[in-house]
Amino acid sequence: MDAFPPERRTFAVSVWAGVSGAGAMLGVVLSGALLEFFWWGSVQVAYGMGAGVVVLAAAVLVPPSRNPALVVDPVGGMYAFVGLTGVVLGVIEGPERGWTSPLTVCALVLGVVGLIAFVRHEARVPEPMLDVRLFRSRGLSAGSIVIFLQFFAAFGFFFLAPQFLQFVQGYDALGAALRLLPLTLGIAPASVLGPRLLARFGSRVVGAYGMGQMAAAFVLFALLADGPYWQFAVTLVVFGAGFGLAVTPGT
CA distance 173 to 178: 9
Q: Which helix (H) or strand (E) holds 238?
A: helix 229-250
Query: Is residue 9 predicted with pLDDT exceeding 60?
Result: yes
pLDDT, one tens digit per residue, over 184-200 is 888 878 877 877 887 78
Report residue 74's pLDDT band, with 50, 70 and 90 as the boundaries. confident
pLDDT, one tens digit per residue, over 78-102 is 999 999 999 989 988 888 888 889 9
> Could you tell me if 187 and 11 are in contact, meaning their C-beta atoms sit under 8 angstroms apart?
no
Query: Is residue 1 predicted with pLDDT exceeding 60?
Result: no
DSSP annotation of 169 = T
CA distance 13 to 207: 14
Q: What is the structure's pLDDT at 206?
A: 83
CA distance 214 to 12: 22
pTM of the model: 0.71
Report residue 67's pLDDT band, with 50, 70 and 90 as the boundaries. low
pLDDT, one tens digit per residue, over 42-64 is 877 887 888 888 888 877 877 76
DSSP H helical segments within 6-137, as ranges? Answer: 6-37, 41-61, 74-97, 102-124
